[in-house]
Amino acid sequence: MRAARDDKRSALFRETPFETCQRTLLGIAWALKPHRLGNLAPLARLWLASLVTSGRALPDAGVLTETSELAGIARDLSVPTLLAGYRRGLFPHGHLGAPKWLSPAMRGVLDLNDFHISTRLRSKMRQGRYTITFDRDFEAVITACAGRRPGQWHLTWIGPRIMHAYAQAFDEGHVHSFEVWNQNGDLAGGGYGVATGGVFVIESQFFRESNASKIGFSVLAWHLAKWGFAMCDNKWLTATTAQMGFHEMPRAEYLRRLSALGHEPVRPGRWEAEAGCQAVADWRPGGSDA
């Protein structure tokens, strides 16, 4: 069974030489945009420092300046190091070369009691068109998250190395996926993230049908709140997440909250959904009337 799983992952996570070249060239173009040129000198210093230390020592996000988010080079993505990074407010990211440890100056976070489900989305959830599952097909979800997005350049940080690293963390019960299935049994949307203490860190989401990922995340949020999680971290605030109740939190405050919410697993092992779209459509987080 394990061999079959590994074979499936090797096939799904493989990049052709053309895809590798394309990702590299787009990564270079992304790094050379005028507003990012200032990152090149600090990145070079971190790269040289990582050669001396073998890149295995985790950086301290607490010493970063107010405007910096680049903390170090993530040469080691083993499960223990990956989890230790998240406990320090770090995560691996990067479109070019080795992944970098990042810790944004402002984090896009959600206190689950403040989660907002729009009236329109509640109506769609009550139609019963989708079934939500957890941890059923992680490989399909991360592959879709790494895939092409309509109308966008194929620029992704989710390369084969990242995919294998999170797959290993998934096997150990620290990474979780949510899947949104339509009435034909096709995967219409989903996402995955990392559970660390009472915080769930969203890594990526995708959708193939309008609102599918929003519906899936709403069901996930209901479960996170029920299971005892306190906060969801989207890393950066976006217009979409702001509409759902996310707000910006300064890094220093985020690190304090992260420490206060502990590091012991709140919900260890594989997850299973306990409620569907129609039940969650009636959820009023924090007793609000949203």
In single-letter form, the type of residue at position 132 comes to I
Backbone angles phi, psi at 202, to 5 degrees: -75, 130
β-pairing verdict for 100-102 and 106-111: unpaired
**CATH number listed for the domain at residues 2-103:** 3.30.70.3550
Whether the CB-CB separation of 170 and 138 falls below 8 Å is answered with yes
Q: Do you know the residue count of the chain?
A: 290
Q: Where are the beta strands (DSSP E) in the chain?
A: 70-73, 91-93, 100-102, 106-111, 131-134, 175-181, 187-196, 199-207, 231-233, 247-250
Q: pLDDT grade, residue 65 (50/70/90)?
A: confident
Please say if the pLDDT value at position 9 is more than 70.
yes
CATH class of 108-287: alpha beta
Report helix angle 2-12 to 138-146, nearest 10: 10
Q: Residue ranges per domain, the chain?
A: 2-103, 108-287
Residue 288 has pLDDT above 70, yes or no: no
Residue whose C-alpha is closest to residue 187's, from 175, 177, 195, 179: 179
Write a three-state SS string for 200-216.
EEEEEEEECCCCHHHHH
DSSP 87-154: HTT-EEE-SSSS-EEE--SEEEEEEGGG----HHHHHHHHTT--EEEESS-HHHHHHHHHS--TTS--
| Tokens representing residue 85 in the block | 């990074």
pTM: 0.91
Note the pLDDT tens digit of each residue in 146-189.
998 777 767 788 999 999 999 999 999 999 999 999 999 999 99
State how far the Cα of 50 lies from the Cα of 53, in Å rounded to an integer. Answer: 5
Q: pLDDT by residue (tens digit) across 221-258?
A: 999 999 999 999 999 999 999 999 999 999 999 999 99
Q: Which of 225, 220, 215, 219 is nearest to 113 (CA)?
A: 225
